[in-house]
Structure 1
Amino acid sequence: MLSNDNATRPTTILLIRHGETAWNAEKRLQGHLDIALNAEGERQAALLAAALASETIDHIVSSDLLRARQTAEAIARVRGAEVGTDPLLRERCYGGFEGLLYSEIAARFPLEFAAWQARDVDGVLPAGANRGETFREFFDRATGAILKHAAAHPGKTLALVAHGGVLECAYRMALGLSLETPRDFKVLNASVNRFVVEEGALNLVSWGEVAHLQPAVLDDVG
Protein backbone atom coordinates (compact mmCIF):
# COMPACT_ATOMS: atom_id res chain seq x y z
CA MET A 1 0.00 0.00 0.00
CA LEU A 2 1.24 3.50 -0.86
CA SER A 3 1.94 5.70 2.14
CA ASN A 4 0.00 8.93 2.43
CA ASP A 5 3.35 10.72 2.54
CA ASN A 6 4.31 9.41 -0.90
CA ALA A 7 0.85 10.14 -2.26
CA THR A 8 1.12 13.83 -1.32
CA ARG A 9 4.74 14.41 -2.40
CA PRO A 10 5.44 15.32 -6.02
CA THR A 11 7.12 12.74 -8.20
CA THR A 12 10.56 13.78 -9.41
CA ILE A 13 11.56 12.98 -12.99
CA LEU A 14 15.16 13.05 -14.19
CA LEU A 15 14.60 13.01 -17.94
CA ILE A 16 17.86 12.08 -19.65
CA ARG A 17 18.84 12.06 -23.30
CA HIS A 18 21.01 9.15 -24.44
CA GLY A 19 24.72 9.62 -25.15
CA GLU A 20 26.09 10.45 -28.57
CA THR A 21 25.88 8.08 -31.53
CA ALA A 22 27.80 8.17 -34.81
CA TRP A 23 24.58 9.23 -36.52
CA ASN A 24 24.14 12.15 -34.10
CA ALA A 25 27.63 13.31 -34.99
CA GLU A 26 26.94 13.30 -38.74
CA LYS A 27 23.35 14.59 -38.45
CA ARG A 28 21.75 11.41 -39.80
CA LEU A 29 18.16 10.93 -38.63
CA GLN A 30 17.71 7.88 -36.38
CA GLY A 31 14.08 7.76 -35.28
CA HIS A 32 13.21 4.13 -34.52
CA LEU A 33 16.35 2.74 -36.14
CA ASP A 34 18.38 1.01 -33.45
CA ILE A 35 21.78 2.71 -33.35
CA ALA A 36 24.37 2.07 -30.62
CA LEU A 37 26.38 4.68 -28.75
CA ASN A 38 29.73 5.59 -30.26
CA ALA A 39 32.90 5.82 -28.15
CA GLU A 40 32.08 9.41 -27.18
CA GLY A 41 28.57 8.39 -26.19
CA GLU A 42 29.94 5.62 -23.98
CA ARG A 43 32.27 8.16 -22.34
CA GLN A 44 29.35 10.53 -21.77
CA ALA A 45 27.24 7.74 -20.26
CA ALA A 46 30.01 6.84 -17.82
CA LEU A 47 30.41 10.48 -16.74
CA LEU A 48 26.65 10.82 -16.39
CA ALA A 49 26.50 7.68 -14.24
CA ALA A 50 29.25 8.98 -11.97
CA ALA A 51 27.52 12.36 -11.60
CA LEU A 52 24.23 10.72 -10.57
CA ALA A 53 25.79 8.05 -8.32
CA SER A 54 25.10 9.97 -5.10
CA GLU A 55 21.54 10.98 -5.99
CA THR A 56 18.45 9.14 -4.82
CA ILE A 57 16.84 7.35 -7.76
CA ASP A 58 14.08 4.87 -7.02
CA HIS A 59 13.49 3.53 -10.53
CA ILE A 60 15.35 3.66 -13.86
CA VAL A 61 13.29 3.24 -17.03
CA SER A 62 14.64 3.47 -20.57
CA SER A 63 13.38 3.55 -24.10
CA ASP A 64 13.90 0.09 -25.54
CA LEU A 65 16.21 1.43 -28.28
CA LEU A 66 19.84 0.47 -27.81
CA ARG A 67 21.34 3.96 -27.48
CA ALA A 68 19.00 4.76 -24.58
CA ARG A 69 19.37 1.34 -22.95
CA GLN A 70 23.18 1.57 -23.02
CA THR A 71 22.98 4.97 -21.31
CA ALA A 72 20.50 3.72 -18.70
CA GLU A 73 22.57 0.60 -18.04
CA ALA A 74 25.62 2.76 -17.32
CA ILE A 75 23.60 4.64 -14.69
CA ALA A 76 22.26 1.41 -13.21
CA ARG A 77 25.62 -0.41 -13.18
CA VAL A 78 27.27 1.90 -10.65
CA ARG A 79 24.20 1.64 -8.40
CA GLY A 80 23.61 -2.11 -8.65
CA ALA A 81 20.15 -1.28 -9.97
CA GLU A 82 17.88 -2.73 -12.64
CA VAL A 83 16.64 -1.01 -15.80
CA GLY A 84 13.07 -1.28 -16.99
CA THR A 85 12.24 -0.59 -20.64
CA ASP A 86 9.27 1.10 -22.27
CA PRO A 87 8.87 1.43 -26.05
CA LEU A 88 6.57 4.42 -25.46
CA LEU A 89 9.73 6.37 -24.56
CA ARG A 90 11.16 5.85 -28.05
CA GLU A 91 12.14 8.71 -30.33
CA ARG A 92 9.61 9.88 -32.88
CA CYS A 93 9.26 7.53 -35.83
CA TYR A 94 10.19 9.39 -39.02
CA GLY A 95 9.17 6.80 -41.62
CA GLY A 96 11.06 7.30 -44.88
CA PHE A 97 13.25 10.03 -43.38
CA GLU A 98 15.02 7.52 -41.13
CA GLY A 99 18.61 6.68 -41.99
CA LEU A 100 19.09 9.78 -44.15
CA LEU A 101 21.18 12.91 -43.72
CA TYR A 102 19.13 16.11 -43.50
CA SER A 103 20.43 17.14 -46.93
CA GLU A 104 19.28 13.80 -48.37
CA ILE A 105 15.80 14.19 -46.85
CA ALA A 106 15.47 17.64 -48.44
CA ALA A 107 16.50 16.26 -51.84
CA ARG A 108 14.33 13.10 -51.80
CA PHE A 109 11.22 14.43 -50.07
CA PRO A 110 11.14 18.20 -50.68
CA LEU A 111 7.45 18.72 -49.86
CA GLU A 112 7.47 16.61 -46.70
CA PHE A 113 10.78 18.12 -45.61
CA ALA A 114 9.40 21.65 -46.07
CA ALA A 115 6.30 20.79 -44.02
CA TRP A 116 8.50 19.27 -41.28
CA GLN A 117 10.73 22.34 -41.14
CA ALA A 118 7.64 24.58 -41.08
CA ARG A 119 6.41 22.63 -38.03
CA ASP A 120 3.27 21.20 -39.58
CA VAL A 121 2.38 19.18 -36.49
CA ASP A 122 -0.12 17.04 -38.41
CA GLY A 123 2.08 16.59 -41.47
CA VAL A 124 2.24 12.99 -42.71
CA LEU A 125 5.72 11.56 -43.25
CA PRO A 126 6.62 9.37 -46.24
CA ALA A 127 6.50 5.61 -45.87
CA GLY A 128 9.64 3.74 -44.82
CA ALA A 129 10.62 0.63 -42.92
CA ASN A 130 8.51 2.02 -40.04
CA ARG A 131 5.29 4.05 -40.15
CA GLY A 132 6.03 7.69 -39.47
CA GLU A 133 4.25 9.61 -36.72
CA THR A 134 2.92 13.13 -36.93
CA PHE A 135 4.43 15.40 -34.32
CA ARG A 136 1.07 15.58 -32.55
CA GLU A 137 0.87 11.77 -32.34
CA PHE A 138 4.42 11.63 -31.03
CA PHE A 139 3.80 14.38 -28.45
CA ASP A 140 0.78 12.55 -27.09
CA ARG A 141 2.69 9.25 -26.88
CA ALA A 142 5.83 10.68 -25.25
CA THR A 143 4.14 12.90 -22.67
CA GLY A 144 1.60 10.19 -21.92
CA ALA A 145 4.43 7.78 -21.14
CA ILE A 146 6.13 10.24 -18.79
CA LEU A 147 2.92 10.93 -16.89
CA LYS A 148 2.09 7.21 -16.78
CA HIS A 149 5.38 6.42 -15.03
CA ALA A 150 4.94 9.32 -12.63
CA ALA A 151 1.44 8.16 -11.71
CA ALA A 152 2.70 4.63 -11.11
CA HIS A 153 5.34 5.84 -8.61
CA PRO A 154 3.92 8.78 -6.64
CA GLY A 155 6.42 10.60 -4.47
CA LYS A 156 9.38 8.70 -5.94
CA THR A 157 12.35 9.82 -8.05
CA LEU A 158 12.50 8.32 -11.53
CA ALA A 159 15.29 8.41 -14.10
CA LEU A 160 13.71 8.14 -17.55
CA VAL A 161 16.30 7.70 -20.30
CA ALA A 162 14.96 8.66 -23.70
CA HIS A 163 15.65 10.75 -26.79
CA GLY A 164 15.90 14.33 -27.96
CA GLY A 165 12.34 14.43 -29.26
CA VAL A 166 10.94 13.08 -26.00
CA LEU A 167 12.80 15.78 -24.09
CA GLU A 168 11.39 18.41 -26.45
CA CYS A 169 7.85 17.17 -25.84
CA ALA A 170 8.31 17.27 -22.07
CA TYR A 171 9.71 20.81 -22.22
CA ARG A 172 6.79 22.00 -24.33
CA MET A 173 4.23 20.39 -22.02
CA ALA A 174 5.82 21.77 -18.86
CA LEU A 175 6.02 25.33 -20.23
CA GLY A 176 2.71 25.22 -22.10
CA LEU A 177 4.38 25.92 -25.44
CA SER A 178 2.43 25.49 -28.64
CA LEU A 179 3.55 22.53 -30.73
CA GLU A 180 3.80 24.84 -33.75
CA THR A 181 6.40 27.19 -32.27
CA PRO A 182 10.04 26.82 -33.37
CA ARG A 183 12.35 24.97 -31.00
CA ASP A 184 14.59 27.66 -29.52
CA PHE A 185 16.04 25.54 -26.70
CA LYS A 186 18.88 23.02 -26.75
CA VAL A 187 18.39 19.27 -26.30
CA LEU A 188 21.80 17.85 -25.41
CA ASN A 189 23.24 14.34 -25.43
CA ALA A 190 23.60 12.83 -21.93
CA SER A 191 21.94 15.86 -20.35
CA VAL A 192 19.90 15.73 -17.13
CA ASN A 193 16.60 17.61 -17.27
CA ARG A 194 14.63 17.80 -14.04
CA PHE A 195 10.85 17.90 -13.69
CA VAL A 196 8.29 17.30 -10.98
CA VAL A 197 4.81 15.92 -11.49
CA GLU A 198 2.24 17.27 -9.06
CA GLU A 199 -1.51 16.68 -9.33
CA GLY A 200 -0.94 15.22 -12.79
CA ALA A 201 0.88 18.30 -14.12
CA LEU A 202 4.45 18.26 -15.42
CA ASN A 203 6.59 21.17 -14.18
CA LEU A 204 10.16 22.06 -15.20
CA VAL A 205 12.77 22.44 -12.45
CA SER A 206 16.02 22.67 -14.44
CA TRP A 207 17.03 22.10 -18.05
CA GLY A 208 20.11 20.94 -19.91
CA GLU A 209 22.46 20.01 -17.06
CA VAL A 210 25.75 18.97 -18.70
CA ALA A 211 28.39 20.20 -16.26
CA HIS A 212 29.41 16.56 -15.82
CA LEU A 213 30.47 16.43 -19.48
CA GLN A 214 33.59 17.84 -21.09
CA PRO A 215 33.95 18.94 -23.85
CA ALA A 216 30.62 20.38 -24.97
CA VAL A 217 28.01 17.94 -26.24
CA LEU A 218 25.87 17.97 -29.36
CA ASP A 219 22.45 19.55 -29.52
CA ASP A 220 19.65 17.51 -31.03
CA VAL A 221 18.79 18.77 -34.50
CA GLY A 222 15.13 19.06 -35.30
Structure 2
Amino acid sequence: MHGESSRGRRIVLWRHGQTAWNREQRFQGTTDIGLNAAGVEEARRAATALAALTPDAIITSDLRRAAATAERLSALMRLPAVPKTGLREAYTGRWQGLTHQEIVNRYGEEYAAWKRGEPVRRGGGELDTEVAERAVPIVERYAERLPEHGTLVVVSHGGTIRATVGRLLGLRPSKWLSLGGLSNCRWHVLSQESSGWRLSVRNAGAPQEAEFGEG
Protein backbone atom coordinates (compact mmCIF):
# COMPACT_ATOMS: atom_id res chain seq x y z
CA MET A 1 0.00 0.00 0.00
CA HIS A 2 1.03 3.58 -0.63
CA GLY A 3 1.06 5.60 2.55
CA GLU A 4 0.93 9.37 2.75
CA SER A 5 4.69 9.43 3.32
CA SER A 6 5.34 7.64 0.03
CA ARG A 7 3.18 9.76 -2.28
CA GLY A 8 4.74 12.25 -4.63
CA ARG A 9 3.40 15.61 -5.64
CA ARG A 10 -0.32 16.10 -6.14
CA ILE A 11 -2.35 18.26 -8.54
CA VAL A 12 -5.93 19.17 -7.67
CA LEU A 13 -7.89 20.39 -10.71
CA TRP A 14 -10.91 22.31 -9.41
CA ARG A 15 -13.76 23.53 -11.59
CA HIS A 16 -15.35 26.90 -10.80
CA GLY A 17 -18.72 27.31 -9.10
CA GLN A 18 -22.08 27.66 -10.80
CA THR A 19 -23.01 30.59 -13.07
CA ALA A 20 -26.31 31.75 -14.57
CA TRP A 21 -25.22 30.32 -17.93
CA ASN A 22 -24.49 26.94 -16.31
CA ARG A 23 -28.07 26.87 -15.03
CA GLU A 24 -29.33 27.71 -18.52
CA GLN A 25 -27.04 25.03 -20.02
CA ARG A 26 -25.29 27.60 -22.22
CA PHE A 27 -21.77 27.05 -23.51
CA GLN A 28 -19.63 29.73 -21.89
CA GLY A 29 -16.24 29.20 -23.48
CA THR A 30 -14.16 32.33 -22.97
CA THR A 31 -17.19 34.54 -22.27
CA ASP A 32 -16.46 36.15 -18.90
CA ILE A 33 -19.47 35.17 -16.79
CA GLY A 34 -19.38 35.63 -13.00
CA LEU A 35 -20.59 33.26 -10.31
CA ASN A 36 -24.23 33.35 -9.27
CA ALA A 37 -25.27 33.17 -5.61
CA ALA A 38 -25.29 29.36 -5.66
CA GLY A 39 -21.79 29.36 -7.17
CA VAL A 40 -20.45 31.63 -4.43
CA GLU A 41 -21.83 29.27 -1.79
CA GLU A 42 -20.44 26.22 -3.64
CA ALA A 43 -17.00 27.84 -3.74
CA ARG A 44 -17.13 28.63 -0.03
CA ARG A 45 -17.99 25.04 0.92
CA ALA A 46 -15.48 23.50 -1.49
CA ALA A 47 -12.68 25.81 -0.32
CA THR A 48 -13.17 24.62 3.25
CA ALA A 49 -12.80 21.00 2.11
CA LEU A 50 -9.77 21.73 -0.08
CA ALA A 51 -8.02 23.65 2.67
CA ALA A 52 -7.68 20.30 4.47
CA LEU A 53 -5.31 19.22 1.67
CA THR A 54 -2.94 22.06 2.72
CA PRO A 55 -2.12 23.29 -0.79
CA ASP A 56 1.30 24.81 -1.39
CA ALA A 57 0.30 26.84 -4.46
CA ILE A 58 -2.86 27.99 -6.25
CA ILE A 59 -3.14 28.99 -9.89
CA THR A 60 -6.32 30.01 -11.66
CA SER A 61 -7.88 30.96 -14.95
CA ASP A 62 -8.25 34.73 -15.03
CA LEU A 63 -11.92 34.53 -16.05
CA ARG A 64 -14.14 35.85 -13.25
CA ARG A 65 -15.95 32.61 -12.46
CA ALA A 66 -12.67 30.79 -11.83
CA ALA A 67 -10.84 33.67 -10.14
CA ALA A 68 -13.71 34.24 -7.70
CA THR A 69 -13.77 30.52 -6.88
CA ALA A 70 -10.01 30.49 -6.29
CA GLU A 71 -10.25 33.53 -4.04
CA ARG A 72 -12.21 31.56 -1.42
CA LEU A 73 -9.36 29.08 -1.01
CA SER A 74 -6.73 31.79 -1.33
CA ALA A 75 -8.25 33.68 1.62
CA LEU A 76 -8.42 30.57 3.81
CA MET A 77 -4.85 29.52 3.07
CA ARG A 78 -3.37 33.02 2.85
CA LEU A 79 -1.82 31.98 -0.43
CA PRO A 80 -1.98 34.07 -3.62
CA ALA A 81 -4.13 32.65 -6.41
CA VAL A 82 -1.97 33.40 -9.44
CA PRO A 83 -4.07 34.22 -12.57
CA LYS A 84 -3.05 32.59 -15.87
CA THR A 85 -4.78 33.30 -19.18
CA GLY A 86 -3.59 29.91 -20.44
CA LEU A 87 -5.98 28.22 -18.01
CA ARG A 88 -9.08 29.79 -19.60
CA GLU A 89 -11.85 27.64 -21.00
CA ALA A 90 -11.68 26.57 -24.65
CA TYR A 91 -12.77 29.24 -27.10
CA THR A 92 -15.78 27.75 -28.87
CA GLY A 93 -16.60 30.52 -31.34
CA ARG A 94 -20.19 30.45 -32.60
CA TRP A 95 -21.19 27.97 -29.89
CA GLN A 96 -20.59 30.48 -27.10
CA GLY A 97 -23.82 31.72 -25.58
CA LEU A 98 -25.91 28.95 -27.15
CA THR A 99 -27.70 26.32 -25.12
CA HIS A 100 -26.83 22.66 -25.55
CA GLN A 101 -30.03 22.10 -27.52
CA GLU A 102 -29.41 25.08 -29.80
CA ILE A 103 -25.96 23.71 -30.62
CA VAL A 104 -27.40 20.28 -31.42
CA ASN A 105 -30.06 21.87 -33.60
CA ARG A 106 -27.73 24.22 -35.51
CA TYR A 107 -24.44 22.32 -35.54
CA GLY A 108 -25.54 18.72 -35.14
CA GLU A 109 -22.86 17.10 -37.34
CA GLU A 110 -20.08 19.12 -35.76
CA TYR A 111 -21.34 18.30 -32.27
CA ALA A 112 -21.66 14.58 -33.07
CA ALA A 113 -18.11 14.48 -34.48
CA TRP A 114 -16.73 16.11 -31.34
CA LYS A 115 -18.59 13.60 -29.16
CA ARG A 116 -17.02 10.79 -31.21
CA GLY A 117 -13.62 12.10 -30.20
CA GLU A 118 -12.73 13.62 -33.57
CA PRO A 119 -10.63 16.82 -33.70
CA VAL A 120 -13.28 19.53 -34.09
CA ARG A 121 -13.01 23.31 -33.95
CA ARG A 122 -16.28 23.77 -32.14
CA GLY A 123 -17.97 26.85 -33.55
CA GLY A 124 -14.73 27.68 -35.37
CA GLY A 125 -12.83 27.84 -32.08
CA GLU A 126 -9.96 25.93 -30.51
CA LEU A 127 -9.16 22.26 -30.82
CA ASP A 128 -9.02 20.42 -27.51
CA THR A 129 -5.37 19.66 -28.22
CA GLU A 130 -4.67 23.39 -28.55
CA VAL A 131 -6.25 23.95 -25.16
CA ALA A 132 -3.93 21.29 -23.70
CA GLU A 133 -0.92 22.89 -25.40
CA ARG A 134 -1.50 26.19 -23.61
CA ALA A 135 -2.66 24.85 -20.23
CA VAL A 136 -0.43 21.84 -19.55
CA PRO A 137 2.95 23.64 -19.60
CA ILE A 138 1.65 26.07 -16.96
CA VAL A 139 0.45 23.25 -14.73
CA GLU A 140 3.68 21.29 -15.19
CA ARG A 141 5.83 24.33 -14.43
CA TYR A 142 4.06 24.99 -11.13
CA ALA A 143 3.97 21.29 -10.21
CA GLU A 144 7.73 21.06 -10.70
CA ARG A 145 8.21 23.89 -8.18
CA LEU A 146 6.31 22.07 -5.44
CA PRO A 147 8.14 20.67 -2.43
CA GLU A 148 8.32 16.91 -2.13
CA HIS A 149 4.77 15.65 -1.42
CA GLY A 150 3.45 19.15 -2.19
CA THR A 151 0.00 20.00 -3.55
CA LEU A 152 -0.92 22.36 -6.38
CA VAL A 153 -4.52 23.55 -6.83
CA VAL A 154 -5.49 24.52 -10.38
CA VAL A 155 -8.80 26.41 -10.66
CA SER A 156 -10.15 26.22 -14.18
CA HIS A 157 -13.02 25.04 -16.39
CA GLY A 158 -14.57 21.73 -17.39
CA GLY A 159 -13.13 21.51 -20.90
CA THR A 160 -9.70 22.81 -19.96
CA ILE A 161 -9.44 20.43 -17.01
CA ARG A 162 -10.45 17.47 -19.19
CA ALA A 163 -7.81 18.34 -21.81
CA THR A 164 -5.16 18.88 -19.14
CA VAL A 165 -5.88 15.59 -17.39
CA GLY A 166 -6.01 13.69 -20.70
CA ARG A 167 -2.61 15.05 -21.74
CA LEU A 168 -0.96 14.48 -18.35
CA LEU A 169 -2.24 10.89 -18.27
CA GLY A 170 -0.89 10.27 -21.77
CA LEU A 171 -4.29 9.43 -23.26
CA ARG A 172 -4.93 9.82 -26.98
CA PRO A 173 -6.98 12.98 -27.63
CA SER A 174 -9.77 10.84 -29.12
CA LYS A 175 -10.19 9.29 -25.65
CA TRP A 176 -10.28 12.48 -23.56
CA LEU A 177 -14.08 12.61 -23.51
CA SER A 178 -14.05 9.20 -21.82
CA LEU A 179 -12.90 11.00 -18.67
CA GLY A 180 -16.47 12.29 -18.37
CA GLY A 181 -17.70 15.62 -17.10
CA LEU A 182 -16.71 17.54 -14.00
CA SER A 183 -19.54 19.14 -12.03
CA ASN A 184 -19.44 22.72 -10.80
CA CYS A 185 -17.02 23.26 -7.92
CA ARG A 186 -15.84 19.64 -7.86
CA TRP A 187 -12.32 18.41 -8.54
CA HIS A 188 -10.04 15.69 -9.85
CA VAL A 189 -6.77 14.75 -8.14
CA LEU A 190 -3.67 13.60 -10.02
CA SER A 191 -0.98 11.87 -7.96
CA GLN A 192 2.64 11.62 -9.05
CA GLU A 193 4.17 8.16 -9.14
CA SER A 194 7.42 6.82 -10.58
CA SER A 195 5.61 5.99 -13.83
CA GLY A 196 4.05 9.44 -14.14
CA TRP A 197 0.73 10.98 -13.19
CA ARG A 198 -2.33 8.90 -12.32
CA LEU A 199 -5.94 9.91 -11.70
CA SER A 200 -6.35 9.04 -8.02
CA VAL A 201 -9.60 10.91 -7.31
CA ARG A 202 -12.33 11.80 -9.81
CA ASN A 203 -15.17 14.36 -9.48
CA ALA A 204 -14.71 14.78 -5.73
CA GLY A 205 -16.68 17.17 -3.56
CA ALA A 206 -20.15 17.53 -2.14
CA PRO A 207 -23.06 16.87 -4.54
CA GLN A 208 -24.55 20.13 -5.79
CA GLU A 209 -28.15 21.25 -6.10
CA ALA A 210 -27.86 20.66 -9.86
CA GLU A 211 -25.07 19.28 -12.04
CA PHE A 212 -23.99 21.19 -15.15
CA GLY A 213 -21.26 20.35 -17.66
CA GLU A 214 -18.89 22.35 -19.86
CA GLY A 215 -17.49 25.79 -19.26
- TM-score normalised by the chain length of structure 1: 0.82
Compared CA separation, residues 201 and 145, structure 1 to 2 (3 A): farther
| Aligned 8 A contact 1:30 1:98 in 2 | yes
How large is the RMSD of aligned CA atoms in angstroms?
2.5
- Corresponding residue number in structure 2 for 1:180: 174
5+ long unaligned stretches in structure 1 = 1-8
Pair 1:158-2:158 in alignment: no
- TM-score normalised by the chain length of structure 2: 0.84
Where does 1:1-222 land on structure 2 (aligned, <5 Å)?
Answer: 10-121=8-119, 123-127=120-124, 132-155=125-148, 156-181=150-175, 182-183=177-178, 185-197=180-192, 201-210=196-205, 213-221=206-214
Matches of 2:72 and 2:134, distance apart in 1: 26
More helix by share: 2
Matches of 1:43 and 1:180, distance apart in 2: 35
Q: What is the SS of the residue equivalent to 1:96?
A: helix
For 1:23, the aligned partner's letter is W
Moved more, 190-199 or 57-66: 190-199
5+ long unaligned stretches in structure 2 = 1-6
Please state how far the C-alpha of 1:199 moved relative to its aligned partner: 6.6
Percent identity among equivalent residues?
A: 33
